[in-house]
Structure 1
Amino acid sequence: MAEAARAAEAATTPVPSPRRVGRQVRVPKTAELVATHLRRQIVRGEINPGDALPPESGLMEQFGISRPTLREAFRVLESESLITVRRGAHGGARVSAPDSDVAARYAGLILEYRGATHGDIHRAAALIEPPCARQLAIRHTSEDITRLRDAVAAEKATLDDPLGLVDAQDAFHALLIELTGNQTLILLCSMLRNIIGRANAAYAVGATDAKAQKAQALKGHRAHVRLVGLIEAGKADEAERLWQRHISSADDVVNAGGPKTVLELTD
């Protein structure tokens, strides 16, 4: 690794070729190579969350690099929320667990740039979540049902707290996907729910008719309770249809009074 880093640090320009056989390949910067090496160690679990990285002097010697190059590598990993760096005599770099919230925030920025609407987000959720409800109705454990019932009980306890209810209902949606065990779906849905949660919170804060808001909250809660019953009973078709209607109706309510684009949530 140290030899590769030194070679990359020395190679500032591509080697000229007498014949162009393809597009020019950029030589990675030394800091990128070091960041890649450390990133792989973190992702593979060779360095655990909470562990401190070796002192800068040790890493500089290990990779054969300068302090500015090492700190540039640290900045790359900090931007990915894989490490936190404290400055000073008692500082240093400490490992953080990869967090889906980082992906959600970045995806949100891209959707903002592309002018995505809340309708886009809800339609995506409507394509992903109902089949998950169907899958759970076909295949679930008693522990799955217990966790779902605990989630709806947590919702019931927050029915008089609009913002608390937003969090509780968002947790129910997240749990529904989590119980499928599909890590790709879990990540994709966490990105969607991050944005939907902000839209729901904006709607809750901006709502002027408390009675109508409470009625809508109860309607959503009852849909969640009914879904758990359908899943437990193994009624896959009904569970999928119910969840499709539920997500579509939530889209109609939130978009009727809240921001219309993802960007408006951050203004």
Structure 2
Amino acid sequence: MKEAVPSSFGFAPIAPQRAFEDIAAQIRELVARGKLKPGDRLPAERDLAVKLNVSRNTLREALRALELSGMIQLRKGASGGAFVIPGNSDVVVNGMRDLYHLGAISPAELTEARIWLESMVVRIACERLTAQEIDALELNVTAAADAYKASDFVESARLHRQFHVMLGAATRNPVIAIMMEGVMEVMGKFVDSIGPTDKVSTQSSRRRLLKHLRDRDADAATSEITRFLERLHRDYMERWNNRQATG
């Protein structure tokens, strides 16, 4: 079992006011400075509370906040404790979804950002996709078509979103991949609210895009995805605006 870092390890006493936020900030700073790394276990709760001059309840509140933010993981049992974990995309994705639900991101802003982002994604992916990844995209398109024919629109929509996330991952750039994942998560919520469209042919555009990707024709691939998304989002916004007008 990995030993916890010592309780004297750069921790300073905390003032009572908003103490749990100060604790969380102090631990974040230790991570930022590289003193705490993924896999490190924080000192035992009792020792750390004494070092920080706070109650164990206040410390637990801070640790729960850090866990929710994706910074640490709380494990139970004899080998448990608070462990620093590698970052993941969930926090960013959840944050974008919450911003949309709170009205900080409008459907028009969302769709505009998606067109811009995905045009860049396709251009980069065209250069970096492996043959195996293109085959996987092909399987995704076929599975989505089969689901649609079977009237399984929930699965079809999930596969459509997955297609775009796969393109983002193919850029080999984690920042772009996370942005793509976040945008598609929010797009899923938006489309759920207005219903899928049957006015824009997804399958034919997907097949053309796959051909351009196989040919490594970045200009043609970018043009195809941009035209498709512009048509798609015009339809989305028309239905959104009609829905808003009718209440």
**Structure 1 residues 228 and 71, CA, compared in 2 at 3 Å: closer, same or farther?**
same
Match of 1:238 in 2: 220
**Structure 2 CA distance, aligned partners of 1:202 and 1:246?**
21
The alignment status of 1:167 with 2:167, answered yes or no, reads no
CA displacement at 1:200 relative to structure 2: 1.7
Aligned to 1:17: none
Question: 1:199: how far off?
Answer: 1.4
Q: Establish whether residue 29 from structure 1 lines up as the match of residue 22 from structure 2.
A: yes
Q: Which amino acid aligns with 1:116?
A: I
Matches of 1:43 and 1:121, distance apart in 2: 36
- 1:63-212 matches, cutoff 5 A: 66-83=55-72, 85=74, 93=82, 98-111=87-100, 115-159=104-148, 160-204=151-195
Structure 1's unaligned 5+ residue stretches are: 13-27, 208-212
Residues 126 and 244 of structure 1 are in contact (CA less than 8 Å); yes or no, is this contact kept in structure 2?
Answer: yes
Contact 1:199 1:254 in 2 (8 A): no
Identity across matched positions, percent? 21
Counterpart position of 1:225: 207
SS of residue in 2 equivalent to 1:230: helix
Structure 1: distance between partners of 2:96 and 2:106: 13
Between the two structures, name the one with larger relative contact order (CA 8 Å, sep ≥ 6): 1
Corresponding position of 1:25: none
Deviations 1:217-247 (A, max 9, x none): 7x11221122111110122211111100111
Contact 2:205 2:224 in 1 (8 A): yes
- Scaled by the length of structure 1, the TM-score of the pair is 0.70
Q: Deviations over 1:77-123 (max 9, x none)?
A: 13314445589999865766644232223234445556532121111
Quote the Cα distance in structure 2 between the aligned partners of 1:176 and 1:54. 41
CA deviations 1:189-237 (Å, max 9, x no partner) are 2221111111122233xx6xxxxx5x447x1122112211111012221
Partner of 1:254: 236
Amino acid at match of 1:240: T
| 1:92/1:2 CA distance change after superposition, 3 Å | closer
Question: Partners of 1:69 and 1:36 in 2: how far apart?
Answer: 19
Structure 1 window deviating more from structure 2 (83-92 vs 142-151): it is: 83-92
User: What SS class does the counterpart of residue 192 from structure 1 fall into?
Assistant: helix
Q: 1:140 to 1:191 in 2, by over 3 A?
A: closer
- Cα distance between partner residues in 1 of 2:48 and 2:231: 55
- Between 1:225-234 and 1:248-257, the stretch displaced more is 248-257
Q: Is the 8 A contact 2:100 2:186 kept in 1?
A: no
CA separation of 1:39 and 1:167: change in aligned 2, threshold 3 A: farther
Match of 1:24 in 2: none
Structure-1 separation of matches of 2:32 and 2:241: 38
Give aligned pairs, total.
233
- Give the TM-score normalised by structure 2: 0.74
Gaps in structure 2 of 5+ consecutive residues = 1-6
Partner AA of 1:119 in structure 2: A
Contact 1:81/1:98, CA 8 A, preserved across alignment: yes
The whole-number CA distance in structure 2 between the counterparts of 1:42 and 1:141 is 38
Larger Rg: 1
